[in-house]
Amino acid sequence: MTYPHTRLRRARATAWSRALHRETILTPADLIWPVFVTEGEGVEQPISSLPGVSRWSVDLMVERAKEAVDLGIPCLALFPDTQRERRSEGGEEALNPDNLMCRALRAIREACGDSIGLLTDVALDPYTSHGQDGLVDDNGYVLNDETVEVLVGQSLNQARAGADIIAPSDMMDGRIEAIREALESEGHVNVQIMSYAAKYASAFYGPFRDAVNTNGLLKGDKKTYQMDPANTEEALREVELDLAEGADSVMVKPGLPYLDIVRRVKEAFEVPVFAYQVSGEYAMIEAAVAAGAGDRDALVLETLLAFKRAGCSGVLTYHALHAARLLNG
């Protein structure tokens, strides 16, 4: 059929018709809210490089969890701001059953029950004095197998404290299988693994490192374990391996610059795929708003819709609370 018999603008002429023909739907249930936990009581610490984002002490984190439940956000992703004196070369604080992450998990679970999911980051960078995601040798190289052993202990520690989803973000080879076997052997059969399967060595992570206070600690870079931004086929191999090892879902990180990877993964494997709209992406939107270059509400909803359109089951975003309020409008 050709013009004028076919006029694609007919369906766009009215709001009701646009809604009726809309192919992709975004709801608060598509959002995971990353939040930062810090020590103290009644503490809120605004993060300068992430305008509108704060670190909260455990008691205030419980209030944030209740707020998320009320807005229909199904899951929180927790990240700890570990005190410098608790950091070490080997990241031993990750194994402490009374560390900041575990205390936050128990407090939220006690207050909210099963009304919200709790996703926990598994990597050693919040706990190491050198800022790397794993153990390092004398040359500064991040050791794979030795790191995996610690990650298994960290995962079990978090599962015992009430984590619903273990999310390894370290990019060590073989860690998914090792974590899955450990969870099964200890009876945590319903604890999910969302693998950071395609995590790139990106320039968009800077504000996150401010949020967890690793800026100034990191020696070198993370290019020997995080992926080269130039690679696509390698991402598919990473995803395939992690699924075979027992991942329930996979993540692509960062988000918008890697929507092509999201689409390739979804088409190749037809599994739940998540993306992380990382700190640098959030900061750029906020900078555009501050400069008068765009409307926050429109920018937030359009970018999140792009993730869904590309094939995401859900999105980790610092705009989750704002977006949920808009969607519930």
Kindly list the catalytic residues.
Answer: 199, 253
The rounded distance, in Å, linking the Cα atoms of 317 and 319 is 5
| 226, 199 contact by CB (below 8 A) | yes
Tokens representing 75?
């899951």
The rounded distance, in Å, linking the Cα atoms of 99 and 234 is 35
| 79, 34 contact by CB (below 8 A) | yes
Check the CA dihedral 94-99-104-110 and report its sign: positive
The rounded distance, in Å, linking the Cα atoms of 102 and 163 is 9
The pairing of strands 314-317 and 54-57 is unpaired
The rounded distance, in Å, linking the Cα atoms of 272 and 55 is 29
> How many Cα atoms occupy the beta-carbon half-sphere of 244 within 13 Å?
8
Residue 274 one-letter amino acid: F
Burial 292-320 (b: 16+ CB within 10 A, else e): eeeebeebbbebbbbbbebbbebbbbbbb
Residue 288 one-letter amino acid: A
Angle of CA points 314, 210, 88, to nearest 5°: 105
DSSP state of 103: H
Strand ranges inside the chain, DSSP E? 31-38, 44-46, 54-57, 75-80, 117-122, 165-168, 192-199, 249-253, 273-277, 314-317
